[in-house]
Structure 1
Amino acid sequence: MKVNEPAGFWIRFGAIILDALIIAVPLTIISVLFTGGLAIDKYVSNTLSFLYSLLTPILWNGYTIGKRICGIRIARVDDGTPPGLGTMLLRNVVAGILYAVTLGIAIIASAIMIGVREDKRSLHDFIAGTEVIRD
């Protein structure tokens, strides 16, 4: 049985930055161009970014573009398989609600958990039963 090496804080942070630069910034620019800079442009870009972060790991075996570039992916803890829709909904929606309810304190706790825990799992990893591993 192959033991997966967990991805640490900096490589995960780098993947998030790459996703933001490659996906979120262009989506924002495109939504501004299509909506003429109306207030709806934030709704459009936020919706598209949410769908990207929710669906891409399902359709691309646990990868987003940033994660693929960094050589890391999301996997289920129990069997190492890519996440499904329910898993990604838990990871993104439920964890997002937790982060909002705690006014961001849980995000800081998650970052610390990734930095200090041996398995490098954050709160949203525990909620969804996932881990981020190196390929």
Structure 2
Amino acid sequence: MSDSVGFWKRLFAGVLDGIIISAPLAIIFGVITGDWEDENFSTLFNFLYMVIVPILWYGYTVGKRIMGIRIVRMDGKKLGIGTMLLRYLVAALVYAITLGIGFIVSAFMVGIRKDHRSIHDFIAGTYVTSNEP
């Protein structure tokens, strides 16, 4: 797994997804509903984006595609709904239960570990690579 991607590329991909996808969604739903404090719809669509787009687009999100990285399964099989739900939903629960400490530990894991895998990668059996499909 020498092709696994480290902290900075993953971070910038997440920032790009936030700028290109999440922020516009929040603005659109704020304009449509007139409620700028209720983030339920934009959060739901953002979650669906993070789960469904990589399944349909070979592990890419818009930010990951721009950075030339993508999510893949350790066993080489195609990403599926179960893998992506584990990666985002179960991992989010772990991060919430640990009051964010798990998230911080994950960031260090990506930066320090030789394979650059985080807690959510271990939960879902995935890693992030720069290899094309």
Residue aligned with 1:29, SS:
helix
In structure 2, do the counterparts of structure 1 residues 132 and 17 end up closer, same or farther at CA, with 3 Å as the change threshold?
A: same
Tell me the CA shift for residue 78 of structure 1.
Answer: 1.4
1:18 to 16, 19, 31: 16
Q: Deviations over 1:22-51 (max 9, x none)?
A: 0000000000011012644x1011111001
- The match for 1:90 is 86
- The two structures have a TM-score, normalised by structure 1, of 0.93
- The match for 2:5 is 7
Aligned residues: 131
1:99 to 95, 104, 110: 95
RMSD of the alignment, in Å? 1.2
- The two structures have a TM-score, normalised by structure 2, of 0.94
Structure 1 consecutive aligned stretches of length 4 or more whose deviation exceeds 6 Å: none
What is the percent sequence identity of the aligned residues? 52
Note if 1:75 corresponds to 2:72: yes
1:1-135 superposed matches below 5 A = 5-37=3-35, 39-40=37-38, 42-79=39-76, 81-135=77-131
Residue aligned with 1:131, SS:
strand
Tell me the CA shift for residue 83 of structure 1.
Answer: 1.4
Amino acid at match of 1:71: G
CA distance, structure 2, for counterparts of residue 19 and residue 83 of structure 1: 19
Amino acid at match of 2:126: T
C-alpha contact (below 8 Å) 1:74/1:82 kept by paired residues: no
C-alpha contact (below 8 Å) 2:60/2:71 kept by paired residues: yes
Structure 2: segments with no counterpart, 5+ residues: none
C-alpha contact (below 8 Å) 1:76/1:82 kept by paired residues: yes
CA distance, structure 1, for counterparts of residue 98 and residue 29 of structure 2: 30
